[in-house]
């Protein structure tokens, strides 16, 4: 949609959303409206609205909250720029000098002669409605300038009075938590050197009680894989902001004269119809990127939970034979293939095929796998090193450390390799490049298994430089090997953000393959990342992280709503289990176009013991829905299963998908539609009234496919 720039008003808008920016100056631009779409005349009024009062005991006139808030304007909240020039030039006062506007973006340039700084702010609004913003500050003075923080702020209105964010731990990532949006600041800092298991993947403000399909919501995400901060702030003057940026350690950014510092992108989405609208904005943007995977997401078998470190060539060939028979399309050899790697305590850094385990190299296994029609993938963890390794013994100086002669506390019996060290970078690039040139590798599972603790380089904090170096390494490998896909794995889901997704083709949501835990992990990861980018595997009957056991049907029904795969020694599966897997994999392949190209929807089901979710094709002619019984319900009869997002003016054939198993039920009599074969129901009925589900046993899921068969007549059941 076109933008307007009249009398200092910049109006970026897409269907359903407007960004109205007051760029009249003389100060920095201020977003005066971020929310429902406005007309240009309304936008011009909002940008310069004359009716805003000021409170007693506050500066006159009312204090603006710019995209970069400044204390010098009277703003008593969190400043966007914090820094100094040897203790001076600590408070900025930028003057807007130039504005450039295109159809979907605006760039603002400002100068502060007092502090000797230039600020450039870039704002974009994508067709999906997702906005992204970033600052670049340049030292125009004659002496060094220390940047302590450079953060983007976006406003939310007074009626956004509830916050949602996420926390977690290993094997239980992205756990939601809600709180009132009260006065003060809710600040989420991540100092782990990677995105983090406990980091909030996004921070959401909304009207009280907002859900997946109702309420106004505003969400932000900091696209950065190192230390970062996300915050919500409400001042007594009822000015409220969401914001964030990179969390800089002391001395990480000291700008020489003429040197710039660029903040990470802050992504921001508004929805007038609940969290599903936020998901649609993020998913639409990710799918529109030139580098988004454009081939069907292959069924994966990863060997970790099948063999662990027991790399026996005959056993692995047998596993590959069964995998190919089941319909697997990508076979991934996990940890244990390189020199000295018999346990997790040794070998990291020695990226050579272990001749003791693989005397004939990996070629026979790779040839066997590819001869079966599957792609071959390989696990690596380039950023880490075991002290018990030839690399560490030869180059202890290549380890991130606070000072010479001092090592950080060990984690998982490993240290972090300093990728910003030119020689360490060159070694990793040479080793990985050689592996990719030597073997027919289509996929790298790139792991990162510990936090960065006391991470320094030549005595200075180095998390920022490490993060940038890893991005460079990933980008160079992709340039040299564009056919190779890379997964971001970090002890499971500890490195999931939109910037690492600029360099990778999927993320591993969690090391936990327990289907019950995965329901929640995938639900909330999927708010920001579309299903085709989220690895989801069927584990063995007994989960190795929780010791729970689940029916195969529940494990399959959970994994199919992501990038589907197996993490299980399927040579031990029974004949019936193999037959069921074969059928499920064929069903997944049939549904891939919908699952990986449609709109993700989640119902606001009244019973917390059951969840409803699905994917609706862009033309709404086909959909796949799941009814998931998480636990026993307090209700004897389940609430109707409503399926949102369908075309209300069409009739749909509702077909149970037995290829994903027939879940156990506990009711005396199942609903007629469930046992009688396909039924035809109007989309309006399905979305507003729903169907009665059977009484499922706990930890069971029922999947159905919906196909439009014609226009609605009376909207009833046929």
The tens digit of pLDDT for each residue in 132-163 reads 999 999 999 999 999 999 999 999 999 999 99
pLDDT value at residue 5: 55
Q: What is the mean predicted confidence (pLDDT) over 336-340?
A: 97
The tens digit of pLDDT for each residue in 188-213 reads 999 999 999 999 999 999 999 999 99
pLDDT value at residue 695: 95
Q: What is the mean predicted confidence (pLDDT) over 61-66?
A: 76
The tens digit of pLDDT for each residue in 401-438 reads 999 999 999 999 999 999 999 999 999 999 999 999 99
Confidence of residue 87 (pLDDT cuts 50, 70, 90): very high
pLDDT value at residue 56: 76
Q: What is the mean predicted confidence (pLDDT) over 675-693?
A: 94
Give me the chain's average pLDDT, please. 95
pLDDT value at residue 718: 53
The residues annotated as belonging to the active site are 447, 511
Buried b (16+ CB within 10 A) or exposed e, 647-675: beebbbbbebbebbbebbbebeeebebbe
pLDDT value at residue 714: 52
pLDDT value at residue 668: 81
CA–CA gap between residue 74 and residue 57 (Å, rounded) = 11
Same domain? For 586 and 605 the reply is no
Contacts of 592 (CB under 8 A, 6+ apart): 296, 297
pLDDT value at residue 378: 98
Sign of CA dihedral 433, 437, 441, 443: positive
Q: What is the mean predicted confidence (pLDDT) over 352-380?
A: 98
pLDDT value at residue 50: 63
Same domain? For 405 and 530 the reply is yes
Among the listed residues 248, 256, 251, the one whose alpha carbon sits nearest the alpha carbon of residue 144 = 256
Q: What is the CATH number of the domain that holds 653?
A: 2.60.40.1180
The tens digit of pLDDT for each residue in 574-610 reads 999 999 999 999 999 999 999 999 999 999 999 999 9
Q: What is the mean predicted confidence (pLDDT) over 481-500?
A: 98
Q: What is the mean predicted confidence (pLDDT) over 658-680?
A: 88
pLDDT value at residue 667: 83
Same domain? For 265 and 341 the reply is no
CA–CA gap between residue 585 and residue 556 (Å, rounded) = 9
Q: What is the mean predicted confidence (pLDDT) over 532-538?
A: 98
> Residues for the chain: how many in total?
718
Q: What is the mean predicted confidence (pLDDT) over 705-716?
A: 81
Question: Are 711 and 661 a contacting pair, CB within 8 Å?
Answer: no
**pLDDT at residue 57 is higher than 80:** no
CA–CA gap between residue 528 and residue 230 (Å, rounded) = 15
Same domain? For 154 and 172 the reply is yes
The tens digit of pLDDT for each residue in 451-470 reads 999 999 999 999 999 999 99
Q: For the full predicted model, state whether its pTM sits above 0.85.
A: yes
CA triple 352-353-355, angle to 5 deg: 115
**Is residue 54 included in any domain, yes or no?**
no
Confidence of residue 715 (pLDDT cuts 50, 70, 90): very low
Question: Are 591 and 298 a contacting pair, CB within 8 Å?
Answer: no
Q: Enter the tokens of residue 314.
A: 């005959």
Other beta carbons within 10 angstroms of residue 575's beta carbon come to 7
**Is residue 718 included in any domain, yes or no?**
no
Q: What is the CATH number of the domain that holds 180?
A: 2.70.98.60
**Is residue 57 included in any domain, yes or no?**
no
**pLDDT at residue 691 is higher than 90:** yes
pLDDT value at residue 75: 87
Same domain? For 360 and 380 the reply is yes
> Residue 641 carries which DSSP code?
B
Q: Which residue is it, tokens 């940047």?
A: 147
Same domain? For 546 and 663 the reply is no
Helix, strand, or coil (residue 189) = strand
**Is residue 426 included in any domain, yes or no?**
yes
Number of domains in the chain: 3
Same domain? For 271 and 371 the reply is no
Same domain? For 573 and 612 the reply is no
- Final residue in a domain of this structure, among 552, 569, 591: 591
**pLDDT at residue 664 is higher than 90:** no
pLDDT value at residue 2: 44
Same domain? For 644 and 529 the reply is no
Distance of CA 292 to the CA centre of its chain: 14
Q: What is the mean predicted confidence (pLDDT) over 168-172?
A: 97
Same domain? For 280 and 311 the reply is no
The tens digit of pLDDT for each residue in 301-312 reads 999 999 999 999
pLDDT value at residue 122: 98
Q: Which residue is it, tokens 């693989």?
A: 358
The tens digit of pLDDT for each residue in 10-47 reads 999 999 999 999 999 999 999 999 999 999 999 999 98
Domain that holds residue 230: 4-49+62-288
**Is residue 55 included in any domain, yes or no?**
no
**pLDDT at residue 527 is higher than 90:** yes
């Amino acid at each position: 949609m076109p933008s307007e720039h009249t009398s200092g008003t910049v109006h970026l808008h897409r269907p359903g959303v407007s960004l109205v920016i007051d760029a009249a100056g003389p100060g920095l631009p201020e977003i005066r409206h971020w929310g429902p779409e406005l007309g240009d005349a309304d936008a011009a009024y909002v940008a310069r609205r004359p009716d805003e009062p000021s409170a007693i005991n506050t500066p006159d006139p009312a204090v603006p909250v710019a995209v970069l808030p400044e204390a010098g304007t009277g703003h008593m909240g969190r400043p966007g720029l914090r820094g100094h020039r040897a203790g001076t030039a600590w408070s900025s006062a930028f003057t807007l000098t130039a504005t450039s506007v295109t159809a979907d973006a605006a760039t603002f340039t400002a100068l502060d002669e007092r502090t000797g700084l230039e600020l450039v702010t870039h704002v974009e609004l994508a067709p999906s409605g997702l906005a992204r913003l970033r600052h670049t500050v340049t030292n125009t003075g004659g002496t060094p300038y220390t940047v302590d923080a450079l953060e983007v702020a976006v406003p939310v209105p007074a009626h956004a009075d509830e916050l949602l964010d996420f926390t977690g731990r290993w094997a239980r990532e992205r756990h939601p938590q809600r709180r009132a949006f009260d006065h003060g600041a809710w600040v989420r800092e991540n100092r782990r050197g990677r995105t983090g298991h406990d980091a909030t993947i996004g921070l959401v403000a909304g009207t009280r009680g907002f859900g997946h399909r109702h309420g106004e919501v505003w969400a932000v995400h900091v696209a950065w894989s190192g230390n970062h901060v996300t915050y919500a702030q409400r001042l007594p003057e009822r000015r409220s902001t969401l914001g964030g940026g990179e969390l800089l350690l002391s001395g990480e950014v000291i700008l020489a004269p003429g040197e710039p510092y660029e903040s990470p992108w802050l992504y921001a989405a508004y929805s007038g119809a609940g969290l599903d609208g936020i998901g649609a904005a993020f998913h639409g943007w990710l799918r529109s990127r030139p580098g988004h995977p454009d081939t069907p997401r292959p069924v994966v078998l990863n060997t970790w939970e099948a063999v662990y470190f027991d790399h026996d060539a005959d056993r692995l060939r047998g596993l590959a034979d069964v995998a190919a028979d089941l319909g697997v399309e990508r076979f991934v050899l996990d940890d244990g293939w390189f020199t000295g790697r018999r346990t997790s305590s040794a070998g990291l850094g020695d990226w050579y095929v272990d001749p003791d385990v693989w005397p004939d190299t990996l070629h026979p296994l790779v040839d066997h796998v590819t001869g079966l029609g599957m792609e071959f993938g390989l696990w690596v963890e380039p950023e880490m090193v075991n002290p018990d390794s030839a690399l560490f013994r030869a180059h202890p100086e290549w380890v991130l450390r606070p000072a010479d002669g001092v090592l950080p506390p060990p984690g998982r019996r490993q240290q972090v390799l300093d990728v910003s060290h030119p020689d360490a970078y060159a070694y990793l690039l040479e080793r990985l490049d050689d592996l990719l040139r030597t073997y027919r590798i289509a996929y790298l599972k790139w792991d990162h298994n510990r936090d960065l603790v006391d991470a320094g380089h030549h005595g200075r904090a180095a998390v920022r430089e490490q993060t940038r170096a890893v991005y460079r390494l990933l980008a160079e490998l992709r340039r040299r090997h564009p056919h190779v896909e890379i997964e971001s794995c970090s002890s499971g889901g500890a490195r999931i953000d939109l910037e690492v997704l600029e360099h990778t083709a999927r993320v591993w949501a969690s090391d936990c393959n327990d289907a019950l835990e995965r329901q929640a992990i995938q639900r909330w990861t999927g708010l920001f990342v579309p299903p085709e980018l989220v690895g989801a595997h069927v584990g063995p009957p007994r989960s190795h992280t929780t010791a729970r056991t689940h029916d195969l049907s529940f494990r399959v029904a959970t994994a199919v709503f992501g990038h589907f795969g197996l993490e299980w020694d399927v040579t031990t599966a029974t004949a019936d289990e193999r037959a069921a897997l074969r059928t499920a994999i064929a069903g997944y392949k049939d549904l891939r176009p919908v699952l990986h190209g449609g709109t993700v929807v989640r119902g606001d089901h009244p019973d917390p013991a059951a969840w409803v979710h699905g994917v609706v094709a862009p033309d709404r002619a086909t959909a796949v829905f799941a009814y998931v019984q998480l636990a026993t319900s307090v209700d004897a009869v389940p609430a109707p299963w409503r399926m949102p997002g369908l075309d209300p003016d069409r009739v749909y054939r509702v077909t149970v998908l037995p290829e994903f198993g027939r879940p156990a039920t506990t009711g005396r009599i199942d609903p007629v539609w469930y046992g009688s074969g396909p039924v035809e129901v109007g989309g309006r009925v399905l979305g507003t009234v729903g169907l009665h589900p059977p009484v499922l046993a706990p930890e069971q899921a029922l999947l159905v496919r919906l196909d439009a068969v014609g226009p609605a007549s009376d909207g009833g059941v046929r």
